[in-house]
Amino acid sequence: MSKTAKGKPLNGQTIAKHFQRNTPYYVMLAIPVLYFAIFRYWPMFGLAIAFQNYKPGMPFLNSGAKWVGLKWFIQFLNYPFAWRLVRNTLLLSFYSLIVGFPLAIFLALILNEIRSRKLKEFTTTLSFLPHFISTTVVVGMLTNFLNINDGIINQLIVRMGGTAKDFMGTARYFRTLYVASGCWQNLGFSAIVYSAAIAGVDPGLYEAAFVDGSSRWKNMWLITIPNILPTIIVMLILRVGSLMSVGHEKVILMYSDRILETADVLSTYTYRVGITDGSPKVSYATAIGLMNSLVNLLLVVVTNTISRHVGETSLW
Amino acid sequence: MKKILSLVLALCLVLSLSSALAWPEWTTTGVEKTGTNYLCDEKTTLTVCTYDGVSQAFDPIGNYQRFWQWMEDYTNVHIEWEVHSNADFGTVRSTKIAAGDIDTDIMNLGSIATAVQAGYSGLAAPISRDWIPNIIEYDATELPIILTNTTAADGNIYCICGNVSPDLGHICYMYKTEWLEKLGREVPTTLDEFYDLCVAMKEAGDLNGNGEADEIILTGSGMSMVNILGNAFGLVQYEDCDAFYPDENGVVQAEIVSDAERELWAYCRKLYDEGILDPGIAKTSADEMSQKIASDKVGIFIYYSAFSISYGRLCSAGQDDPFGCHYAMGEALTGPRGDKFYSLRNRAGNDACIISTSSKNIELAARWLDVVTCDPNSLKVRTCGWEGEQYEYDENGKMQLIYDEDGSWSIGDFGCGQIAMPHYQNYDQLMNSKLNVPWYVEQYDKILHNNDWIAPGVPIIGAYTDEEQELIDMSKTDCNSYFKEARANFITGEWDIDTQWDEYVNTMYGLGLQSWIDAEQMIYDRTR
Amino acid sequence: MKKKDRIQETHESNVLLTSKGDKIFDTCIYVLAVLIIIVTLYPLIYVFSMAISNPVAVARKQIWLWPVGFSSEAFKTVLNDKNVFIYYGNTIWYTVVGVVTGVIATSLAAYPLSRRNFTPRKYFLIFIMFTMFFGGGMIPTYLVVARFLKLYNTRWALILPGLTSAWYISVTRNFFATIPEEMLESAWMDGASEYRIFLQFVMPLSAPILAVLALYYGIGHWNAYFDALLYLGKTELQPLAMYVRRVVIQNSLEAQGLDHAVDLTYEQVMSTLQIKYAVIVVAVVPILLLYPFLSKYLQKGMLVGSLKG
């Protein structure tokens, strides 16, 4: 293949020739591109219903639906619990980040430092087993462990002299339970990335440090961590970028009427209002979703820009 | 020799397998007594989509099987059911409507309002009055609100309600007779007596004698059951939140922010704090409640009386116990201001079933629904059981119950037993109705005679006008959610009712309660 | 000897020469490792014990870690329901089909984007990557899939909307880019078409990353419930996760085949909790059995596939 002139899309060829030369590529791209066009870009046109009084049944961008401008956005901003939803979304993500992020790194470091090879392999393999267990099962276990009548946790509390509590039904415990179960399920798996990065650290550095009389503890801080810093930062950017999108799947499994105060997040509200409601408010729900997506986008852009200027690593 | 042996073995296997199959216990469905009413010459199949639930009309599984078998023999229509769980049905319903794909002939949409919306958007087929002769007859003679409720603003009928009797069993209290006897007490009639009984049960300790402190004094299925206690405070509400009442000037008020509601919640908080109210009540499904009852732990429970009656084993009324079961049904409690009534669903508007426009058998489906809900024979079977098994006619042509040797009467494997009684405004109407079932009257005589049966309130109808619909849409969901949240938190003490009540009321109005009240005002003025 | 082994050896041989500080460090690490094992394993062991113990012991709350007594009633009840096998079958179908289609679609997208001689690739890349940061959202996607494409109540509703994602394409693309250009050039010189190069050279070489992809997609499909909730009304199409949710979280008595609880005997009442745990065990056992094999692939893949942008 001849040298290509960078930058110029067709680098001097005619369109026909370009296609002839690159047909296989286009053929291969056909399916994925079709997928993205249909399932990712077409719904984006659906965002238009956020500005309409849309009733299911009409196509998007139909003139049949009444345009109402920013009515739904304003309605959401007037919703007394709008701030609660945003706050819950942010707090859940934030706590998951604050707790889960360092712990994952920490876990990777610990696993790396286990001396016995057998123990190390066993523990490592075991640590990401929970990730393979579906969220339904994890929440199922959680719910039943915390059952007020026959859950093991309440059993323990009663045995130690306290009174059984309905943890899943009390708003104050929700965040803790959410984050804790999230950690149990995902910590090991998240740590893999860092384990891979740690394994990529030049062993010569350790040898040199050993010669200098450094301890394992110091090694960890002075060699391992700085060398995996790029990985950490990339992961952090990605995490921050999705700060405003708490996965509704798990919350829906865990929440109930009683704990909306802490458990209701933007995505669950959208789900309730737009899908399960007796008369679903489709436009309103879409408007909220749109605002959510935009904020996410903003966060990613901002974080990436900051990172690009401050350090060297960034997503683009 | 080997061949004979294997043949014998095979025979044994076949025999044991076939005996292991659960044959239905009935040998006849009773059609020969009622005659038939074929709706089509050739047996046709209709598909019906609904949800499972203990006390709703279209329960295709469980105890209603014999009734549906009877229906099939009666009408020559075979039904294939698509059943979803109660909890997910909201999602299923909405997603099907949003997808524009009602793929069954008939679908249970729950509320009339939803059905009317489906009709407007072309998913539900309008039903001609020619196809529903039984409903029209029933509307003319028994319950004149059926047709007005289900007719939409454009004059079409888009749905048929599975329950034509507006209330198939009001919520009632059930007291464990064994524990009452142990404590030497009677079924309470006032709120204070109720409280005293609860305290006594709590202090008695190990009432079921198993050595564990697992007694549950008061439970129900879900927090909405505490609503019944509200009747004593003058609250009309039947189930969550849809409660509006007109005051003396005809101005509609919302119960959920009224002082009576506050009193109710404070009272429930007291019950909760003292360990009387089951802390797990909010999470208890009907099935789980039955489990608790079956495991001998429950002193008082609150549930729909139809449940109690139709399963025949758990209820009785008053002091005599002809049913031979373990719980005595209690009457409505008189409250601090002398309020005593049963709030009933004063509407014929449950289980609104639509016929999909993509169905190939629209007229047949309509006629089938007509027969299920209002055909006299069908109603007789559903409410009274089988002639010769549950009842028989004496020389004067009056219906008499057939009791078992032990003096109890049960609906047995038939199980519908939805008694079409309480839509009557008063006792006299009941006595004169065609569907008067004497034993029901017997049992309820002591309780309901001389009391108001239907609490006053703004009628809850199905077909709203567009304007009303829009006003309601704006706030109903949010208000409902917040109401449930507040109720749970006030009762369990997470929120302090003394200091945070005003905040609750303000937030409620902030969520748009006023627009809902305005809509109800319009409905009240319209239907007055 | 590989570098990793040398380090390991160096570490281990250092045992004799370590200072006290290192010894304390090692002890702490050891303790933490044990803690990790306990925390990870305890819930699973407890669930299993509960499912298999004597119901009376369960009612008396005697089970803390190991089973007390033995009873297979709970499992029998769960497995008696024919529907469980249908749900299992559905889950397997969705997983297999999802993995195959996902891997194919991802590779098909990643390959052209990794070829430097394909000049418009930047535009395609942007086209695809943009979807990682912005999308239509739950409702518009639902309307497109269920309404306009009429996929409601069909199996494809669970496969197509999540066919592939920009993230996985990116990861795969990076991997493909590491395949030496010269090797492919020589194949090209020998007259092979791009298709053949892709199928016979690139794909076999990419086995690690494909394995990782298969794993990601596999886990995703195996555990999915929300899409099924939205798109599947018919229970005979639903995956196992929906069943688990109904029985274990929503407390339906579906697993016991009991639709109305009034006929429960005392023994049946006692065993409801066990049945829930039995359902969990049934749902989780295949994963546990396959896990040792899967984890090897995963570790290899992560080492290879990674994350540099």
CB C141 within 8 A of CB A39: yes
With cut-offs at 50, 70 and 90, classify the pLDDT of residue B55.
Answer: very low
Which residues, in sequence order, are CB contacts of A214 under 8 Å at separation 6+? A222
Length of chain A in terms of residues written: 316
CB B96 within 8 A of CB C233: yes
For A233-246, what is the mean pLDDT?
72
Of A166, A258, A282, the CB nearest to B485: A258
Angle at which helix C272-305 crosses helix C207-223, to 10 degrees, equals 160
Q: Is CATH 3.20.20.105 the classification given to domain A78-310?
A: no
Of A57, A171, A278, the CB nearest to B494: A171
Determine the Cα–Cα distance for residues B273 and A185; give it in Å rounded to an integer: 36
DSSP state of C65: S
Give the residue, A111 or A234, on which the prediction is more confident. Answer: A111
Q: What is the pLDDT of residue C160?
A: 93
Of C230, C246, C260, the CB nearest to B62: C260
Give the residue, A103 or A315, on which the prediction is more confident. Answer: A103
Residues of A in contact with C40 (CB under 8 A): 126-127, 129-130, 184, 188
Q: Is A304 on the interface with C (CB under 8 A)?
A: no
Mean pLDDT of chain A: 82
Of A24, A129, A267, the CB nearest to C195: A24
Residue B146: closest CA among B138, B134, B156: B138
The answer to whether the Cβ–Cβ distance between A278 and B113 falls below 8 Å is yes
Of C143, C234, C261, the CB nearest to B291: C261
Q: What is the pLDDT of residue B319?
A: 30
**Closest residue, chain A, to B474 (C-alpha):** A281
Q: What is the pLDDT of residue A58?
A: 64
Q: Is B470 on the interface with C (CB under 8 A)?
A: no
Q: What distance lies between CA B337 and its chain's CA centroid? A: 28
| Residue C5 in this model has a pLDDT that exceeds 70 | no
Residues of A in contact with C161 (CB under 8 A): 39
Residues of C in contact with A141 (CB under 8 A): 43, 47, 280
Determine the Cα–Cα distance for residues C291 and C286; give it in Å rounded to an integer: 8
Q: Is B210 on the interface with C (CB under 8 A)?
A: no
Residue C254: closest CA among A150, B308, B87: B87
For B289-312, what is the mean pLDDT?
64
Task: Give me the CATH code for the C82-237+290-305 domain, please.
Answer: 1.10.3720.10
Give the residue, C60 or B319, on which the prediction is more confident. Answer: C60
The answer to whether the Cβ–Cβ distance between C235 and B91 falls below 8 Å is no
Q: Is B287 on the interface with C (CB under 8 A)?
A: yes
Angle at B176 between CA B173 and CA B178, to 5 degrees: 160
pTM of the model: 0.80
| Closest-CA distance of chain A to residue B486, Å | 8
Mean pLDDT of chain B: 73
**Closest residue, chain C, to A44 (C-alpha):** C136
Q: Which of C143, C262, C273 to mutate to test the interface with B (most CBs of B within 10 A)?
A: C262
Angle at A295 between CA A292 and CA A299, to 5 degrees: 140
| Residue B323 in this model has a pLDDT that exceeds 50 | no
Determine the Cα–Cα distance for residues C81 and C62; give it in Å rounded to an integer: 29
Q: Is A166 on the interface with C (CB under 8 A)?
A: no
| Closest-CA distance of chain B to residue C60, Å | 9
**Closest residue, chain A, to B509 (C-alpha):** A80
The CA-based dihedral angle spanning residues B470, B471, B473, B478, taken in that order and rounded to the nearest 10 degrees: 160
Instruction: State ipTM.
Output: 0.83
Q: Is B80 on the interface with C (CB under 8 A)?
A: no
Long-range contacts (CB closer than 8 Å, 24 or more residues apart) made by C121-125: C123/A9, C124/A29, C124/A33
Q: Is A281 on the interface with B (CB under 8 A)?
A: yes
Of B63, B95, B103, the CB nearest to C260: B63
Binding-face residues of C in 202-241 toward A, CB within 8 A:
219, 222-223, 225-226, 230, 241
| Residue B458 in this model has a pLDDT that exceeds 80 | no
Of A42, A134, A199, the CB nearest to C4: A199
Q: What is the pLDDT of residue B1?
A: 63
Domain ranges (residues) in chain C? 1-52, 82-237+290-305
Q: Record the tokens describing residue A235, joined without a space.
A: 């992961």
Q: Where in chain A is the domain with CATH 1.10.3720.10?
A: 78-310
Q: Residue B245: beta bridge partners?
A: B253
For C190-214, what is the mean pLDDT?
82
The answer to whether the Cβ–Cβ distance between B477 and A275 falls below 8 Å is no
Residues of C in contact with B100 (CB under 8 A): 147
Q: Is A22 on the interface with C (CB under 8 A)?
A: yes
Q: What is the pLDDT of residue C40?
A: 92
Q: Environment class of residue B14 by beta-carbon count within 10 Å: exposed (0-12), middle (13-18) or buried (19+)? A: exposed
| Residue A313 in this model has a pLDDT that exceeds 60 | no
Q: What are phi and psi of B289, to 5 degrees?
A: -65, -40
Of B95, B110, B282, the CB nearest to A275: B95
Which residues, in sequence order, are CB contacts of B73 under 8 Å at separation 6+? B29, B31, B36
Q: What is the pLDDT of residues B60-81, one digit of tens each?
A: 555 567 778 888 888 899 988 8
**Closest residue, chain A, to C142 (C-alpha):** A43
Q: Mark residue B325 as left, alpha or beta (left: phi above 0; alpha: psi -120 to 50; beta: remaining).
A: beta
- Touching subunits of B (3+ CB pairs, under 8 Å) are A, C
For A132-155, what is the mean pLDDT?
89
The answer to whether the Cβ–Cβ distance between A11 and C119 falls below 8 Å is yes
DSSP, residue by residue, A22-78:
HHHHHHHHHHHHHHHIIIIIHHHHHGGGGGEE--BTBPTT-TTSEE-TTHHHHHHHH
Instruction: Work out the percent of chain A whose per-residue pLDDT is above 90.
Output: 15
**Closest residue, chain B, to C226 (C-alpha):** B91
| Closest-CA distance of chain A to residue C116, Å | 9
